[in-house]
């Protein structure tokens, strides 16, 4: 008999008011760990939507006659893709339970119900009331909703209904108000999992209970304890994180925009920290207001502009900024390539003084031909650069050219003297950060701009047959086993994760909601080949997917946080990669190829908003840099510097971006190509 309470909730522990939510509903959570402040009890909300901006919370706590209700407020459906507001709780170890909830839909113009046997918020069974006339059991996974059972059942907006799912082994009995409507059997039931409440119309929820047999409760407790012990044993052999540096950022802190380089021409690392202001509309025209160069002890080398605490508070820039650190003139000393007040600037890394400058290009195109304009008008006469990439269009033997772009439509190639060599206006969204690389081995870079490949002169060669949304990140490499061909692995928002060849053919694709970040590394060394890590954001955010090198899904897991970076981390120095999720001490850390946190962050009060992985000690193993607007911590391995057997080729830091797909390959042969991109697409 299931008479042991595993979990219960009547929301009496919540004050009447709003369930915590991101009031900005911005893209900051794509690469910042943004945890809304306030009491959440045992519940987590993993659903976000930029269309919610300015429209209040998804969930509120209401009351009537001494009872409390968790009330869902959203009525928007299906934009920018399928989204079901969901609150979730519990663990993957919950099995063979009865879960029930009392529901009153305040509108019958939508769905409301009970999620159970949940792996994550878009991998779950849902028992729901659908409009006025039926009860159904469905399986939600990624972008698909498969109805498993459906029966007529009239409902109204004035009555309370108790939905119950009684799980026993691989069978669930689905009930409403004590009446059994149907049974369903399958592996999705047998797996068990978390539970949740979900609706896409105004609905009140209360009196949630999860009941199990006494023996099952003890079994669940043992399984959770054993898993904690397993994880501790997994983590024990690995060097832990040791605090190496702690820096007070005073009034010049920033979001995830820090650049690293050798500003004095020595091996010493410096950081360039840009602050930014928003112009006109959200992040469409972000403007760098101050640059501060510091060493790894926090000493200021130079500063251009005026730092501002106000900028820190208001400047939550969820976009790239035009700033790179690179030796553009080949003199052995890194310059800072940036833009300020509609002027492109090359700054002396040692002093911050301008070495070269030129006005940004004029915006000469008709506004109606420009993609992605707020208010259907380009706000300025000159281009406000959205990002900068270092490239090699002229074939000089080393990158010495500069690619700039506006927000979503135009790219411009400039030489190292800031002369415009060519420009390209895209008929499709350019995405955030075009990828330049030499595909045909002629010494000059081609560039993938969104879905279109350009040659080194800006001439289109081909386009992938995708016309919607935009590409957030791209990785290129010979990452497929038994193949000498190169491929692009891309995440493109609502258009999903896909792998395409260098001739414009899509070879595999997976619609996972809003595909956001991607990296490739040796995450599961017991398997042959590389693995591809992908995460999503808008909609049901924070689900991490791991694929093999052919694009076949190995597993998916949700760590109930956003801001998962997925950067490959050479922590051990032996050819095994972990990937960086976020800096949260409870949910974040370095994840291995099985979805376990192999190296957690210490609970030492460090900032969690931003994180980065970079080798700062010079032993090829990566350090971890974490920061917020006010402070910065750097962690290194607890076993100290030592010789390593692995010297991976990784993404170059002179092309830093919040939208960079990252990789860790054994040598440069994996990113050296000699293919004809003009071969006929198939």
* pLDDT score of 51: 78
Give the whole-angstrom CA distance, residue 169 versus residue 459: 60
91 lies in some domain? yes
Closest alpha carbon to 610 in 18, 29, 7: 29
* pLDDT score of 311: 55
Three-state SS at 188: helix
For 29, residues 6+ apart whose C-beta sits below 8 A from its C-beta are 22, 48, 537, 541, 562, 563
Parallel, antiparallel or unpaired: strands 610-614 and 287-295: unpaired
Closest alpha carbon to 354 in 341, 369, 363, 367: 341
Give the whole-angstrom CA distance, residue 564 versus residue 583: 9
Per-residue pLDDT band at 4 (split at 50, 70, 90): very high
Alpha helices in 293-343 (DSSP H): 309-314
The answer to whether residues 355 and 498 belong to one domain is yes
Per-residue pLDDT band at 681 (split at 50, 70, 90): low
26 lies in some domain? no
Q: Please list the helix, strand and coil fractions of the chain in percent, rounded to the nearest 5, in that order.
A: 10, 40, 50
Domain with 101 in it: what CATH number? 2.60.120.560
**Top-confidence residue, 663 or 48:** 663
The first and second tokens of residue 598, run together, are 């192999």
CB 545 within 8 A of CB 558: no
Tokens 């909730």 identify what position? 9
The answer to whether residues 188 and 104 belong to one domain is yes
24 lies in some domain? no
Closest alpha carbon to 574 in 619, 624, 617, 527: 619
Q: Which of the listed residues 219, 235, 251 is the one where a domain comes to its end?
A: 235
CB 630 within 8 A of CB 253: yes
* pLDDT score of 281: 85
* pLDDT score of 312: 52
The answer to whether residues 518 and 484 belong to one domain is yes
Per-residue pLDDT band at 315 (split at 50, 70, 90): low
Question: What is the Cα 633 distance to its own chain's centre?
Answer: 22
Region 502-513 average pLDDT: 96
The answer to whether residues 229 and 267 belong to one domain is no
The answer to whether residues 502 and 631 belong to one domain is yes
Run of H or E residues at 225: helix 214-235
* pLDDT score of 84: 93
- CA angle, corner 80, sides to 608 and 431, nearest 5? 70
The answer to whether residues 361 and 499 belong to one domain is yes
Residue 467 burial (C-beta neighbours within 10 Å; 0-12, 13-18, 19+): exposed
Per residue in 62-93, pLDDT tens?
A: 999 999 999 999 998 877 677 899 999 999 99
638 lies in some domain? yes
- The per-residue b/e assignment along 222-258, b for 16 or more CB within 10 angstroms, e otherwise, is eeeeeeeeeeeeebeebbebeebbebebebbbbbbbb
385 lies in some domain? yes
Max avg pLDDT among 158-172, 269-283, 304-318: 158-172
Domain with 331 in it: what CATH number? 2.130.10.10
Q: Which of the listed residues 235, 253, 269 is the one where a domain comes to its end?
A: 235
680 lies in some domain? no
Per residue in 612-653, pLDDT tens?
A: 999 999 888 999 999 999 999 999 999 988 888 889 999 999
The answer to whether residues 478 and 564 belong to one domain is yes
Closest alpha carbon to 311 in 367, 273, 254, 241: 254
Region 423-428 average pLDDT: 96
CB 46 within 8 A of CB 541: yes
Q: Which of the listed residues 173, 203, 235 is the one where a domain comes to its end?
A: 235
Give the whole-angstrom CA distance, residue 283 versus residue 387: 12
Portion of the chain with pLDDT greater than 70, in percent: 98
Portion of the chain with pLDDT greater than 90, in percent: 89
pLDDT over 90 (residue 310): no
Determine the straight-line distance between the first and last CA of the chain, rounded to whole angstroms.
Answer: 61
The answer to whether residues 305 and 222 belong to one domain is no
What number of residues does the chain have? 682
51 lies in some domain? no
CB 375 within 8 A of CB 398: no
Query: How high does pLDDT run on average in the chain?
Result: 95
Per residue in 355-387, pLDDT tens?
A: 999 999 999 999 999 999 999 999 999 999 999
Domain ranges, residue 198? 4-19+57-235
**For the chain, how many structural domains are there in total?**
2
The answer to whether residues 245 and 207 belong to one domain is no
The answer to whether residues 171 and 266 belong to one domain is no
pLDDT over 80 (residue 313): no
The answer to whether residues 225 and 248 belong to one domain is no
* pLDDT score of 53: 73
364 lies in some domain? yes
Per-residue pLDDT band at 50 (split at 50, 70, 90): confident
pLDDT over 60 (residue 607): yes
* pLDDT score of 328: 98
Region 96-103 average pLDDT: 98
Per residue in 201-213, pLDDT tens?
A: 999 999 999 999 9
* pLDDT score of 459: 98
Give the whole-angstrom CA distance, residue 26 versus residue 52: 9
The answer to whether residues 286 and 195 belong to one domain is no
């Amino acid at each position: 008999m299931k008479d042991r309470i595993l979990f219960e909730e009547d929301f009496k522990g919540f004050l009447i008011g709003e369930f915590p939510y991101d009031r900005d509903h911005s893209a900051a959570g794509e690469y910042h760990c943004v945890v809304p402040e306030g009491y959440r009890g045992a519940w987590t909300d993993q659903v976000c939507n930029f269309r919610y901006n300015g429209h209040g919370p998804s969930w509120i706590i209401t009351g009537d006659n001494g009872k409390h209700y968790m009330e869902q407020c959203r009525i928007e459906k299906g934009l920018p893709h399928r989204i079901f507001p969901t609150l979730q709780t519990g663990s993957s170890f919950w099995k063979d339970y009865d879960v029930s909830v009392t529901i009153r839909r305040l509108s019958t113009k939508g769905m409301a119900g009970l999620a159970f046997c949940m792996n994550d918020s878009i991998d779950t069974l849902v028992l729901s009331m659908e409009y006025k006339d039926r009860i159904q059991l469905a399986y939600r996974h990624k972008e698909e909703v498969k109805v498993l059972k459906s029966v007529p059942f009239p409902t109204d907006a004035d009555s309370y209904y108790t939905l119950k799912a009684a799980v026993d082994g691989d069978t669930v009995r689905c009930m409403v108000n004590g009446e059994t409507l149907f049974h369903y059997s399958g592996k999705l039931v047998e797996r068990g999992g978390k539970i949740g409440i979900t609706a896409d119309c105004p609905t009140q929820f209360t009196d949630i209970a999860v009941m199990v047999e006494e023996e099952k409760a003890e079994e669940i407790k043992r399984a959770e304890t054993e898993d904690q012990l397993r994880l501790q044993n997994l983590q024990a052999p690995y060097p832990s994180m040791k605090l190496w540096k702690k820096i007070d950022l005073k009034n010049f802190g920033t979001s995830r925009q820090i650049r690293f380089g050798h500003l004095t021409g020595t091996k010493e690392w410096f950081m360039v920290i840009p602050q930014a202001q928003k112009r006109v509309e959200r992040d469409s025209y972000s403007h760098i207001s101050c640059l501060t160069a510091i060493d790894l002890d926090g000493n200021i080398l130079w500063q251009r502009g005026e730092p501002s605490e106000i900028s820190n508070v208001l400047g939550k820039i969820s976009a790239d900024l035009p700033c790179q650190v690179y030796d553009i003139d080949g003199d052995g000393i890194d310059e800072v390539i940036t833009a300020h007040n509609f002027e492109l600037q090359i700054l002396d890394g040692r002093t911050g003084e301008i070495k070269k400058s030129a006005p940004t290009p004029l915006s000469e195109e008709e506004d109606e031909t420009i993609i992605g304009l707020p208010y259907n008008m380009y706000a300025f006469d000159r281009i406000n650069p959205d990002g900068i990439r270092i490239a090699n269009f002229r074939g000089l033997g080393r990158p010495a050219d500069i690619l700039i772009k506006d927000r979503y439509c135009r790219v411009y190639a400039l030489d190292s003297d800031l002369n415009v060599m060519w420009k390209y206006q895209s008929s499709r969204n350019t995405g955030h950060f075009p990828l330049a690389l030499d595909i045909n081995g002629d010494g000059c870079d081609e560039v993938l701009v969104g879905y279109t490949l350009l040659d080194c002169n800006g001439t289109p060669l081909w386009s992938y047959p995708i016309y919607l949304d935009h590409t957030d990140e791209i990785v290129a490499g010979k990452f497929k086993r038994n193949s000498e061909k190169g491929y692009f692995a891309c995440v493109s928002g609502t258009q999903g994760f896909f792998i395409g060849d260098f001739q414009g053919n899509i070879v595999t694709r997976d619609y996972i909601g809003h595909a956001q970040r991607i990296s490739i590394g040796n995450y599961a060394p017991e398997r042959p080949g590389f693995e591809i890590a992908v995460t999503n954001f808008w909609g049901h955010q924070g689900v991490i997917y791991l694929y093999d090198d052919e694009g076949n899904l190995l597993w998916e897991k949700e760590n109930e946080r956003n801001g998962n970076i997925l950067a490959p981390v050479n922590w051990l120095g032996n050819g095994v990669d972990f990937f960086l999720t976020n800096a949260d001490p409870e949910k974040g850390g370095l994840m291995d190829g099985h979805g376990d946190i192999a190296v957690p962050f210490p609970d030492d009060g460090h900032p969690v908003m931003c994180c980065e992985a970079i080798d700062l000690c010079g032993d090829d193993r990566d350090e971890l840099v974490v920061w917020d607007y006010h402070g910065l911590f750097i962690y290194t391995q607890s076993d100290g510097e030592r010789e390593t057997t692995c010297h991976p080729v990784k993404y170059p830091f002179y092309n830093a971006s919040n939208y960079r797909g990252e990789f860790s390959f054994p040598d440069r042969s994996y990113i050296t190509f000699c293919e004809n991109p003009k071969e006929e697409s198939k």
